[in-house]
A and B are shown apart, each in its own frame.
Chain A
């Protein structure tokens, strides 16, 4: 096998799922993030406790598309999909997916913007809106309240006083 202990000598193969290395030191594929970096990102940016992911593995397929999976699988693996996409790396700012933050966003304690009903409806419909936010700019979790519980709506991008909805077209709804 190529890449025994040598960093940066294998390429990411587009159609294949490869399990993420545990730490950056274990990396054998150029540009691939490690499990540790992914878990740290969710903890640092959103306050999601690392142990949330203890029973999951992380995989890359496609350039920087990271998947989270709870089941059994060998690596590498050529299948249609494995668990769900959770994160985009290999770009300047990492970007979680809407479906993933709907799934685990209730664990988040940071970078969550709580929307009123009408704001939540606009967000779900894919609209951008002007609003105040005194936290970090960048990708954040938009949430609202449903029957007394915080419900994450998806990923938003906050810049220059504007919250942009990142809800994918096929997931947008007129509520």
Chain B
């Protein structure tokens, strides 16, 4: 937990934060409304005697009381998909509509991409991209299992993504859920901090900046880009959004989400960030008994 010590100045009740990070995470699933309604899924879980708790902020997110959520009829039929509760936040913030063109630029293993397709009633186009072949096979497996027919899967480095192969030249929305130092996944993966170093944070933030810039460039004026990470490092969060504000035509916009959270930072160590970064959110594990996440919503301007 030592790398997390640097966040002591910015996190209220730091001891509760550390204690939460040391507790394992429960089992959460998302209802895949492409395959079944929430109501029917709950009926099946009840019939099967699987206890659940529905998340207050999102009726499609369930906490299951089972150690093997994959060995349920709801999983076999693709009604449910194992997905950490906070990882369901960015697609909800992006709010894609049926018929739109949406880019998920770092999409594997596909939990969020299939969630985007479900939010669009599987109508429209979700271009799900990833650069890693092994992770792409997991994305394809999940897309098929969940019955997403609106997904087009590509393998590219998102930083220099080419629109040429597509039948349109800009997206309505983009989800930029980038590779990161994953500090917020410590409850799920106790090894997450083993490889942590300031050097890694710096190098990955360069990649994140490139991906976010490309997503803004490929999104139409007035379109929406959501930037998210599962980490706490301001270098990978506010600093990346700040870079986009300086280099691309966009602004940070406010949004509502029914989970406890902190505002984005406007300063970190010796750096100041734009005041609008307060409209980003930081979700800490002790606030909702979940993993950690950072989410910022951007509007593309002229």
**Partner-B contacts on A (CB < 8 A):** 55-56, 68-74, 77-85, 97, 99-100, 102-103, 124, 146-149, 151, 153, 170-171, 173-175
Name the contact of A73 in the complex, choosing from B35, B140, B167 (C-beta under 8 A).
B167
A69-B152, A173-B75, A175-B71 as given contacts; A77 in contact with B145, CB under 8 Å:
no
Q: A80-B140, A84-B144 are in contact. Are A56 and B149 (CB under 8 A)?
A: yes
| Interface flag for B193 (CB, 8 Å) | no
A24 to B298 alpha-carbon distance, docked (Å): 48
CB of B44 within 8 Å of the partner chain: yes
**A82-B35 in contact (CB<8A):** no
Instruction: Say whether chain B's binding surface is mostly helix, strand, loop, or mixed.
Output: mixed
| Chain B residues with CB under 8 A of A100 | 147
Whether the Cβ atoms of A102 and B147 lie closer than 8 Å is yes
Residue contact B76 to A83, C-beta cutoff 8 Å: no
B101 / chain A contacts, CB cutoff of 8 Å: 72
Are A99 and B145 in touch, CB under 8 angstroms? yes
Residues of B within 8 A of A (CB): 34-35, 40, 43-44, 46-47, 70-73, 75-78, 101, 122-126, 136, 140-141, 143-145, 147-155, 165-168
Inter-chain contacts of B148 with A (CB < 8 A): 83-84
Contact: B40 with A149, CB < 8 Å?
A: yes
A72's partner among B44, B70, B71, B167 (CB-CB below 8 A) is B167
B175: min CB distance to chain A, Å: 16
CA distance A148 to B36 in the complex (A): 13
**Does A102 contact B35, Cβ atoms closer than 8 Å?**
yes
Residues of A within 8 A of B153 (CB): 79-82
The chain A residue with its CB closest to the CB of B72 is A175
Which of B43, B73, B150, B154 is in CB contact (< 8 Å) with A83?
Answer: B150
A79 contact set on B, CB distance < 8 A: 152-155, 165
Once A72-B101, A77-B165, A80-B153 are accepted as A-B contacts, the answer to whether A55 and B123 lie under 8 Å apart by CB is yes
Q: Which of A70, A81, A147, A171 contacts B143 (CB 8 A)?
A: A81
Chain A residue numbers with a CB within 8 Å of B143 are 81, 84
- What is the distance, in angstroms, from B148's C-beta to the closest C-beta of chain A? 7
Report how far A146 CA is from B37 CA in the complex, Å: 13
Which residues does chain B contribute within 8 Å of A78, judged by CB atoms? Answer: 165
Partner pick for A71 among B43, B71, B72, B152, CB 8 A cutoff: B152
Cβ-defined partner of B140 (8 Å) among A69, A81, A147: A81
Could you say which residues of chain A place their CB within 8 Å of the CB of B152? 69, 71, 73, 79, 81-83
**Residues on the B chain within 8 Å of A175, using CB:** 71-73, 76
CA distance A85 to B140 in the complex (A): 10
A70 near B123 (CB under 8 angstroms)?
yes
CB pair A146–B44 under 8 Å, yes or no, is yes
The residues of A that contact B76 with a CB separation of less than 8 Å are 124, 153, 171, 173, 175
Given contacts A80-B136, A173-B70, A173-B71, contact A71 B145 (CB under 8 A): no
Q: Is the CB of B126 within 8 A of A147?
A: no
30 intermolecular pairs with C-beta atoms under 8 Å apart: A69-B150, A69-B152, A70-B124, A70-B149, A71-B149, A72-B166, A73-B125, A73-B152, A74-B165, A74-B166, A77-B165, A78-B165, A79-B153, A80-B153, A80-B155, A81-B143, A81-B151, A81-B153, A83-B148, A83-B152, A84-B143, A84-B147, A85-B144, A97-B144, A99-B144, A99-B145, A103-B149, A146-B73, A171-B145, A173-B71
Nearest 10 A/B pairs, CB to CB: A71-B125, A103-B147, A147-B43, A80-B153, A81-B153, A70-B149, A83-B149, A99-B144, A74-B167, A70-B150
Q: Shortest CB–CB separation between residue B151 and chain A, in angstroms?
A: 7
Contacts of A73 in B (CB 8 A): 125, 152, 166-167
Q: How far is the CB of A108 from chain B (nearest CB, A)?
A: 15
Contact among B77, B122, B124, B140 with A151 in the assembled complex (CB-CB below 8 Å) = B77
Whether A71 lies near B136 (C-beta < 8 A) is no
Q: Are A72 and B168 in contact (CB under 8 A)?
A: yes
